[in-house]
Amino acid sequence: MQDLIHRVASMIGDAKKVVVFVGAGLSTESGIPDFRSPGGVWDRYDPEDFYFQNFVSNRYKREKYWEMATEMYDAMKDAKPNAGHRAVAELEKLGKLDCLITQNIDGLHFKAGNSENKVLELHGTAMHVACLDCRRRYERDPIQERITAGDKAPECESCGGLLKPATISFGQRMPERETAEAFRRSAGCDLFIVIGSSLVVYPAAQMPVVAKQSGAKLVIINRDETACDKRADVVIYGQAGTIMAAILNEVRNNLNRKG
């Protein structure tokens, strides 16, 4: 594995535009459950209850949604960034990160030090709540306090519209700006690094393919195999945080030797 770490560090050193693509496999190393795994949230709730159209049309479904969303938020709100998050933040500090594309909704990249203008959240964020009518955004904790006090399906204080965590639900459209920008950055980078994603959720899983077809080198760091492994220049299996920390340590060593 050490040879692969050296190789990826050299690729980062040579690259002009690095795009990092992150999935749930990185957040699990911060203690956030993989909600799709056996015993996770989706084993205890019916996914049909959480389609966006049902949320909009049915108060009972909204109450069930907020019950599930509260359980997920409770697992996220106090989580701390791990070595992988810190390594991606370090890439930005070194001037190597063109952008970070994340499927995660936990906000840990910001806690690690990445700046907002470098992060594209494809599935939104659980750290805020949005009104579906007037688009007002709220911090999450005050809304959770309302739910704890008995408001099982909170509404907007400004317009009375429906409040929903600022995440993308089943049946809800992907955010147009973030999705378009993510594809544009993928096509324009010279190194695309996948961290902790199984690459099965589309359209996001198409982004490493777009990068590779546009001439970028592709690195995949994940616990298990992915559908894109055969396209990749380097694949490293293992704990994403530990591997990324080792890669960034080697990047810093290379920079020190040069400079």
Query: What's the CATH number where 186 sits?
Result: 3.40.50.1220
* Residue 222 sits in the same domain as residue 245: yes
Q: Which of 6, 85, 109, 123 is catalytic?
A: 123
* Residue 132 sits in the same domain as residue 119: no
The pLDDT of residue 37: 58
* Residue 136 sits in the same domain as residue 232: no
The pLDDT of residue 84: 95
Give the domain extent around 210: 2-32+80-123+174-258
* Residue 6 sits in the same domain as residue 114: yes
- Cα separation, 96 vs 112, in Å, equals 16
* Residue 73 sits in the same domain as residue 49: yes
* Dihedrals phi, psi of 104, to nearest 5 degrees: -85, 155
Query: What's the CATH number where 158 sits?
Result: 3.30.1600.10
* Residue 73 sits in the same domain as residue 99: no
* Residue 188 sits in the same domain as residue 254: yes
The answer to whether 123 is a known catalytic residue is yes
* Residue 194 sits in the same domain as residue 250: yes
Per residue of the chain (259 residues), give pLDDT as tens. 899 999 999 999 999 999 999 998 899 999 887 756 555 565 677 777 789 999 999 999 999 999 999 988 998 999 999 999 999 999 999 999 999 999 999 999 999 999 999 999 999 999 999 999 999 999 999 999 999 999 999 999 999 999 999 999 988 999 999 999 999 999 999 999 999 998 888 888 899 999 999 999 999 999 999 999 999 999 999 999 999 999 999 999 988 887 5
How many domains is the chain partitioned into structurally? 2
* Residue 111 sits in the same domain as residue 214: yes
* Residue 187 sits in the same domain as residue 218: yes
* Residue 240 sits in the same domain as residue 218: yes
* Residue 209 sits in the same domain as residue 97: yes
